[in-house]
Structure 1
Amino acid sequence: MRIPLEGDVAAKIEAKLAKFSRGWEKLQLDALRRATSFKVLVLCEMLGGRTKAAEAAELSDNTLDNYRHGIKDPTYATLGLMAEKAGIASRYLGGDWSFEDDGIRIDLFDQAAATRVPLPPGLMDTPSRPYIHGYDEIRPSSAAAAAVIEDYWARLGLDPDTVTTLLAEGDSMVPTIADQSPVFVDTGDRDLADGGIYALRIEKRLVIRRIQRLVGGGLQLLADNNASYPPQEIGEALSADLHVIGRVRSAAFAC
């Protein structure tokens, strides 16, 4: 998809990009934070500059500057509001944005193809709310959001008081759970069911694995990325000492 830029907006974006990219390099921003800062920069100019953009997004000028510089992290809701005011559907925020030929090119991840992959046992559902990992808080940001989340847990038959949120680390559960995706864990369910996905603590290290019970006792801990992570077998004696945090009931989609 390509969004043409009207008037002198393209020239302003090009000038701002030259200015801010030097700061991004100095701060050694990771690719995701740099991409998010670039989106804020583009939306800011599409909304008429810093002052008008800050008013549209209900932010202070300094806060918007911190977002453009990559010093602070905008939430998805903030980016969504700016995109809406700029006439861009919020679903495009998860795409890869680039500036070319006096326009903005947006390449989207093929979510439709991803949803055709059947969810394995243990991953009950996926919240519809997208998540820019590293930039949103993984707790609800308002009473209304909290009510939606609690209704979601209720539909899964969960007690909201037993649900905790963790960040997945590494690619061991790809494609089921992406690196740095929020995972929602039912700490009230620690009975290891065959095929279920659990958050475990092994020698002070948090891991997320699928469980397979072995004939005669013991367990196998299985990574969905089994090409890079071989099964880990735990004998019956050691499995009794395994610290189970809870069962993973859902994972948010990180974009």
Structure 2
Amino acid sequence: MAADNDDKVSNRLPDLLAAHPNLSALSRDIGISRRMLDRYKAGVAEPTLGTAALIARALSLPMDALVSDVSVHHGSDVDASVAIDSKIARVPLLDVVASAGPGAENSHPYELDLLPFPRVWLDRIGVPERYARFVDARGDSMEPTIKDGSICLVDTRSGHARRDGIYVLVDGNSVRIKRIAIGWQGALTLISDNELYAPETLAAPDAEALKIAGRVVWAGGEI
């Protein structure tokens, strides 16, 4: 079934790839085959959400450069800009380093910037714009799911681990990203996707005291 037009990456992508001086190098940088890049360039294939993010970052472009519909014209540049802006959410990037490893020290977070993110993708993930936040992830304990240096989209509605998933945990000034598995009688197990790191189990009293800043729903791709 063909994707809805609002779900598609902008038709600017073929032109952007055609203008790139070395698609083979781009292919190596983002880990996507040259054959698939050629298909994107020819307009016969659409990248996924995660692939679009990789391409945008490699081309040093904001996400809205790939999701804005430049083929739509309403008689003026102002009208076209309004149409583009209606498709883009501006999500706060917090001054927080969430450690995928040992806890990292963080001061009280504030907004560093507003990063563009497609509204249709927020809808697909199921995160209302007002609850969406970006944080930086550092460390290797959540690899390969979350790579060192990834920007993670967090659903801040999740103050408690109500289901298994990946969460941002706060312990004083320490902020960590861990997968949480919910056990019997309120126990929680904190799991690193990297097998080199051992899991940590919290009994009910400690589990109840665990502060959760939100659930990680996207890190270069949907989680």
TM range (shorter): 0.5 to 0.7
CA drift at 1:232: 1.1
The number of aligned residues is 148
Instruction: Determine which of 144, 149, 152 is the counterpart of 1:180.
Output: 149
When residues 88 and 137 of structure 1 are mapped into structure 2, their CA distance, relative to the original with a 3 A threshold, is closer
CA distance in 2, matches of 1:215, 1:145: 43
Percent of residue pairs identical:
25
CA distance in 2, matches of 1:144, 1:111: 33
Match of residue 206 from structure 2: 238
Larger Rg: 1
Tell me if structure 2 keeps the 8 A contact 1:138–1:165. no
Q: How does 1:104-115 map to 2 (within 5 A)?
A: 109=31
Q: How does 1:56-71 map to 2 (within 5 A)?
A: none
SS of alignment partner, residue 209 of structure 2: coil
Match of residue 95 from structure 1: 28
AA of the residue aligned to 1:93:
L
CA distance in 1, matches of 2:61, 2:160: 29
CA distance in 2, matches of 1:208, 1:154: 23
| 1:99-153 Cα deviation digits (max 9, x unpaired) | xxxxxxxxx73569xxxxxxxxxxxx736221649x9698868847725622210
| 1:196-235 Cα deviation digits (max 9, x unpaired) | 1111112422111111122222211001002x21011222
Report the TM-score when normalising by structure 2.
0.54
CA distance in 2, matches of 1:84, 1:157: 34
CA distance in 2, matches of 1:88, 1:218: 52
When residues 92 and 146 of structure 1 are mapped into structure 2, their CA distance, relative to the original with a 3 A threshold, is farther
Point out where structure 2 has 5 or more consecutive residues left out of the alignment: 1-13, 35-48, 66-83, 90-116
AA of the residue aligned to 1:109:
G
Tell me if structure 1 keeps the 8 A contact 2:168–2:178. yes
| 1:85 and 2:19 are equivalent in the alignment | yes
Report the TM-score when normalising by structure 1.
0.48
AA of the residue aligned to 2:53:
R
Tell me if structure 1 keeps the 8 A contact 2:144–2:194. yes
When residues 173 and 83 of structure 1 are mapped into structure 2, their CA distance, relative to the original with a 3 A threshold, is same
CA drift at 1:157: 2.2
Greater share of strand = 2
CA drift at 1:177: 0.8
CA drift at 1:92: 4.3
AA of the residue aligned to 2:213:
I
When residues 218 and 154 of structure 1 are mapped into structure 2, their CA distance, relative to the original with a 3 A threshold, is same
CA drift at 1:156: 2.1
